[in-house]
Chains A and B, each alone.
Chain A
């Protein structure tokens, strides 16, 4: 250990001597981790900038959410947590909470009440899926299709994905069992309410894989959210699933000939967690930020920049127009009644149990 210390010390001295690129470390600086791209931009405009302005805090945006689970665990084991607030999807939040890596939140006392006077837990309602997770947006994984490549009858049901006769061509699906297994069962005649019960059995899993088998040769599997928009724009696939915000950008901002298929969209949540192991003052600041960023108005503001639905019920009426395109955003929200006629809820508890098992089976199935 002594040797290590000495070596570290000498290396550090040498480096300190040679480096001329040190910035002064701001005392009031916080690191917020998010996904990058348009999503981070929307958060910057809706949350970071107003918060910095009001509190004089510099916000550093770290675009590491995709590695957040692993990195947070490593940070916590190394005893050096450098992040203050982290944006993750709900499933990751549950994992982090289970691992003891995310702070448990007392929603009613630590978050703002809704504008309509409801308490935070009433306002978020069912969306509070974990004790550590403060939902921010409702997004959905849904399908888009090339309007010029699907013939005269555009698809209206998710089962078009499994219908090679009516819609020949390639499709893109996410390279993981989640969502695909549910859709396969739904399109194989299983009632929506029974999907998870069926999927729990070996026979149900085989049924889902058998259904997926019918289109296996016609699927391009994606792993990054930007893949399907690119594949659709290329005409490489005729339909594919991705996050609804990506499809919105593809259709409204890039004007591609793509249509939106809201049927059986799977709702999912994205939101904040605060890592455990922060110093009391950093924790207090993180809580203060989260309280600010998840109040009714702020959540509604984010919808001006990206088509994801605010997680608070009280924010829905405040959703306005897109900041640059000037179109009404309400109708592009996954939660809009018109779009949400047939939705599917992601069962977090169930997947927390079955994810490891089904993922192994799914990967084995893929490589067959």
Chain B
């Protein structure tokens, strides 16, 4: 293994001596799992798996081109799985076939070290790939709950349970009824509407006030800087349940004041209360992100702008703002999420008319567990994937337009 890896890519070496053992080891691993699962025994599984891995590797890399080869591997092991373990076997077979096929080509064509410099040692290559694998596992950990809730949201039953029907992929186990429930039930649509109203307003308030204050704080001579910073960050520090009860008194009196003095309707003053409460909770995140961006900000730029006759407002919007925009945006993201996912404070400060999505989920989980919650979550995930992808595509487009090469 060491010698083959060291040779690099200058000459095309015969890697068969490397490919076969690696793929066989890989196959042995799958075989072990399959042997355990089917009850055939670990040893038998390892032997069969290793043999299958070696055969596949040999067949694929010597006889078949990449695409056909991978499809063949998937089909072959998939069918094998189907014969042994039925529907589940098919899935497991297809997955392990895909993995084995990929492994064979990945090792054989030397792509496993494609991103490494040619002089990298075998140990470095091994570590590099292990590292990538670890990162993959962590990223999987991050999205594992999401991967779980998506199939569960199609559950035909009213529980968070993978029923036997679902596991055997029986269509009777699946249904769209929770989605139907979400789209037809006012108990869910109203909270959705409320969340969509409250979160952006709260974000706007915390971002605008927070950015101004962060700019102020970044000036060189600010008296009581530490104390001010501590106060501004305090909403993040105080345990939420204490904040919620404490804020209740203030907002309750403020609500009365607004209703009596301005003749506001209860529902309007209710929205204002929740928006302000959420804005206060989001501010620490904006302060932290924007101050961090401003640390590296070159103040001679604003002086240069002023020197050339720009008013402070123009300087702010045309010079400073574009430069600190990334910090502002990520602060805004945190502030938005804080409001969009906040349940404790809104439980206290809000009234029925301001019920937000997390609140509805909270009562849902407490009073009757229903996968409608999962359907909502799935929809939100899909929407956010679309949003984030769009943002990324737009970024690439503007990059292209500006003539920057992707780095």
Contacts and interface: CB of A to CB of B under 8 A. Distances in A.
Given A16-B264, A79-B253, A230-B160, 18 more contacts: A5-B257, A12-B264, A19-B268, A19-B271, A21-B197, A22-B268, A40-B367, A63-B363, A67-B348, A70-B245, A78-B252, A78-B256, A80-B255, A224-B365, A226-B367, A233-B157, A234-B160, A254-B157
Contacts of B315: none
Chain B interface size band reads 35 or more
B111 interface: no
22 contacts: A8-B257, A8-B258, A12-B264, A15-B275, A19-B271, A21-B271, A22-B268, A36-B363, A36-B367, A60-B353, A66-B366, A67-B348, A70-B245, A71-B248, A74-B348, A75-B248, A78-B252, A80-B252, A224-B367, A225-B366, A254-B157, A254-B158
A38 interface: yes
A308 to B, nearest CB: 14
Contact of B254 (A8, A226, A233): A8
Interface of A: 5, 8-9, 11-13, 15-16, 18-19, 21-25, 31, 35-40, 60-64, 66-67, 70-71, 74-75, 77-80, 82, 224-226, 229-230, 233-234, 249, 254
Contact of A78 (B157, B249, B369): B249
A16 B368 CA distance: 37
A254 B163 CA distance: 13
Contacts of A229: 159, 369
A13 B272 CA distance: 11
B367 A79 contact: no
Contacts of A75: 248, 252
A38 B276 CA distance: 33
B256 A80 contact: yes
B348 to A, nearest CB: 6
Nearest to B248: A74
Interface in B318-363: 347-348, 351-353, 355, 363
Report, nearest first, the 3 A-B pairs whose CB atoms are least far apart: A37-B367, A62-B352, A78-B252
Contacts of A21: 197, 267-268, 271
B366 A224 contact: yes
Contacts of B266: 25, 82
B118 interface: no
B118 to A, nearest CB: 54
B129 to A, nearest CB: 38
A271 B244 CA distance: 27
Nearest to A39: B367
B261 interface: yes
Contacts of A80: 252-253, 255-256
Given A78-B252, A224-B366, A234-B159, A16 B262 contact: yes
